[in-house]
Amino acid sequence: MRFRRTLIAAMVSFTVLAGTGAAAAGAAVSDEQIAITTPPAGSAAWSHDDSLGRAMPDPAHATADEVAAFFASLTPAQQQRLVRTYPLVVGNFDGAPVALRYQANALAMEQELAKQQDRAGNPALSGTERSIAAGQAATLTKLLIPGRQFLVFDPRGRGLVAEVYGDLGTAQRVSVLVPGSDMDLQHFDRSDTTDPLKGAAGMGQALRAEEQRVSPGTSTAVIAWSGYVTPVGLGADAATARLAQAAAPRLARLLDGLALTSHPTTAPALFCHSYGSVVCGLTAPHVHAPQGVTDMVVFGSPGMDVPDAAALGDRVRLWATARNPGDWIGNVPYLEVAGLGHGADPTDPAFGAHVIASTGAEGHNGYLTAGTASLRNFADIALDRYTDVVCSNNNGGCVSGL
C-alpha cells in the first residue's frame, strides 16, 4: 500500500509539474479521504422509533418510492415532529417532500452552528481547534441566510451540502451540477472570493442565471450537489475512482428522489465538472429517469472510468465540452492502469460523445464564465434547445439527428 501511494504521488507530481510548475506539484499531493457511505446521525434512533406504531423506513436501504409513500401517509403534525426530532435524517432522505427537507436542513445547520460557536469559545480546546470551529461557524452563518434552500446537509468529515436555486416544485427543467475535487462545506460558497466559480454554489448560480437569460419564460431549477466526499488536491484520491464509487449510489438516489418530488417535463440534466465526471460516469448505468433520456454534460474531465459513451447505457446522452487551452486537466494522461487514471478522453471523437464548443472559457474553472460558448451550450442543453448548441468544430455534427 505504501509503495502504491508513493507511485501515485510520483505520477501526480509529474503531471502537475508539466502543467503548473514545481510549487503547485509540491502542494498537490494530499492524504486520502474517508468516504461517507452510512446514513447521517440520528438514523439508529429513527430506525428504533415506534411512536407511529409501525416500522420506519431504513435510512440506509429504503428506496425513494418507499420514503415518498411513508411521508405521504403522515399527518402534517407527524411530519413536523419528525423534522424536529430527526432533522439530519429527514433533511437527507431522498424521496421526502422537498419543503420538509429544506426545513430540516435549516434546523440541522442551526444546531451545528450553535455547537461550533460553543467550541469556538471553549477555553479547554486548543487555539487551533477553536480557530477551526470559528471558521465552521462563519461558513454556517453564511449558508443560513434566509431564503437559501438546502437539499443535503451532513456535517460529518469535511461536510456534505447541496443547494437548490429556483423552485423544484414548479420547475419545467431541472439541472444537477456535480463538482469535482476540493469541494466541501467550507468551499461550497466562494461568493466572497475573487473566483466564485471555484465553488459549487457559484457554478450552480451561473448556470441558472444563463438558463433564465436564454429562456426567461421557462421555470428552471439548478441543484449544486456537493453530496459526496471529494478528493483533496491531486493526490491518490484524484487518481483513482474510490471516492466516485462511493458517491455514485448517493447521486443515483438523489435522481430517484427527484423523479418523485419534482415534475420537470424532461429528465434532469447532469453537469459534471472534473472529478465529478468520474462520479457521473459510474452513476450513469443506474439512471432510470421516467421522463426519458438524461443529458449528461462533462467539462474539465480527467476521464469517466468507462471505455466509451455507449458504456453509460441507453438512458444517457453524453455531451463532452472541448477543453480550453488553459485547462491543466489536458496534462493528465488519459489512461487507466491497475486502477490509476480514469480512462479515455471523453472529448476524443472515438469516445462517442457529442462534443461542444467552449470558446471564451479560460482555465479549469472557466467553463461557466458569462459570455463563454460553453455556458451558453450548457443552458441550451438544459433547456432542450439542441438546435442552438454550438459544436466544437462548428459544423453542427454534434446535434445531427437530435
pLDDT digits (tens, 9 = 90+) for 84-101: 999 999 999 999 999 999
Can you state the percent helix, strand and coil of the chain, rounding each to 5? 45, 15, 45
CB atoms within 10 A of CB 8: 22
**Residues 245-255, buried b or exposed e (16+ Cβ, 10 A)?**
ebbbebbbbbb
Q: What is the mean pLDDT of the chain?
A: 92
pLDDT digits (tens, 9 = 90+) for 334-367: 988 888 999 999 999 999 999 999 999 999 999 9
* Domain residue spans of the chain: 2-30+158-399, 43-50+62-135
Q: Are strands 220-226 and 149-154 parallel, antiparallel or unpaired?
A: unpaired
pTM of the model: 0.93
Q: Which residues pair with 299 in a beta bridge?
A: 273
Edge to edge, what strands does the sheet with 149-154 contain?
Answer: 149-154, 160-166, 220-226, 173-178, 269-273, 294-299, 316-321, 354-356
Secondary structure of residue 101 in the 3-state scheme: helix
Residue 4 has pLDDT above 90, yes or no: no
Q: Which of 319, 238, 286 is nearest to 30 (CA)?
A: 238
H helix or E strand, kind and range, residue 226: strand 220-226
pLDDT in tens, 50-97: 999 999 999 999 999 999 999 999 999 999 999 999 999 999 999 999
Q: How far is CA 27 from CA 38, 117, 126, 170, 273, in A?
A: 31, 31, 26, 45, 21
The end-to-end CA distance of the chain, in Å, is 47
136 to 117, 120, 149, 151, 269: CA distances (angstroms): 9, 9, 19, 19, 32
Task: Over range 239-260, report the average pLDDT.
Answer: 96
Q: Are 71 and 95 in contact (CB under 8 A)?
A: yes
**Beta-carbon contacts of residue 326 (< 8 Å; ≥ 6 apart):** 362, 363, 364, 366
Work out the pLDDT band at 17, boundaries 50, 70, 90.
very low
2-30+158-399, superfamily in CATH?
Alpha/Beta hydrolase fold, catalytic domain (3.40.50.1820)
